[in-house]
Amino acid sequence: MSETGPAKSRRRTRSSEGDERLLDRELVDLPAELRWREWMMRVEAVIFASAEPVTREVLARVVGKDCSVDLLIDDLHEELRSRPYELVSVAGGWQHRSRSAYAPAIRASAAPTRSPAAVLSELESMVLMAIAYFQPATRSELGKIFGKEVSRDLIGSLRGAGFISSGPRSPTPGAPYTYVTTKHFLSAFGMETLRDLPDMEALEDAGLLSRHAVHAEPLSVEPDDDELVE
């Protein structure tokens, strides 16, 4: 019988801890220059292999205890300066990204990419942007921003893609769910924090969003209007 649930999780954790103990992190037998080079390659390999941004704490597991991860990253930035990809700081960690100058070539190739943002429709992108600015936001509030109902299917699509998750229940009648963005959202759009969002005033001037739309009239949300299975 195969293991499932907590037992399998504990086994995976023990295996990971064992791998970490077996790894020679300090590399004391190597000259200083070769030691630093090996640490750089380890850090780059971990970031390259990861599907999500890699935090400083994760990278610290593969280098010496007195090694500065930030200095390693600085050296990697310099080494990749002439490459068509770079290390970027997003969502609390680091990730490899293609340089924007090569975006036209990538699009022209029609090759499958790892960018999840490309699968969003224009409306999904706009709703996601509204959630990012007004979070936590309910479906009713989003409807007031766009002047039409935002469907549960659209919200479900954004949740399924990992861009949003449920926030606290709204204190309005019916206590509908609110929605907030996730770390995956930050990673997909190349942001370190929500402070990196474009300026709200510029979007208002362009007529894309209005911070006053949500409060233009009292909310009327039927009970359980936004009940989604968690």
37-78 tens-digit pLDDT: 999 999 999 988 887 888 999 999 999 999 999 999 999 999
Average pLDDT, the chain: 78
Which pLDDT band, with edges at 50, 70 and 90, does 14 fall under? Answer: low
Q: What is the pLDDT of residues 163-188, one digit of tens each?
A: 888 998 888 888 888 999 988 888 77
pLDDT at 218: 38
Preceding amide of 136 cis, omega within 30: yes
Q: What is the DSSP letter of 94?
A: E
- The per-residue pLDDT for range 74-96, each reduced to its tens digit, is 999 999 888 898 888 887 888 88
Parallel/antiparallel/unpaired status of strands 85-90 and 164-166? unpaired
Q: Which of these ranges, 44-58, 100-114, 147-161, has the smallest mean pLDDT? A: 100-114
Alpha-carbon torsion angle 107, 113, 116, 118, nearest 10: 20
Reference 39, options 3, 71, 5; nearest CA is: 71
More confident residue, 20 or 113: 113
Q: Is pLDDT at 210 greater than 90 in this prediction?
A: no
Q: Helical H runs in 135-182?
A: 139-146, 152-160
DSSP designation for 82? T
- Greater pLDDT, 174 or 31: 31
Residue pair 87/95 in contact (Cβ under 8 Å)? The answer is yes
Give the percent of the chain with pLDDT over 70: 74
Rounded to an integer, the average pLDDT of 132-155 is: 89
Residue type, 172: T
Q: DSSP letter at 54?
A: B
Q: In the prediction, which pLDDT does 18 show?
A: 52
3-state secondary structure of 104: helix
Q: Residue 77: CB partners within 8 Å, gap ≥ 6?
A: 86, 87
- Sign of the C-alpha dihedral, residues 220, 222, 225, 226? positive
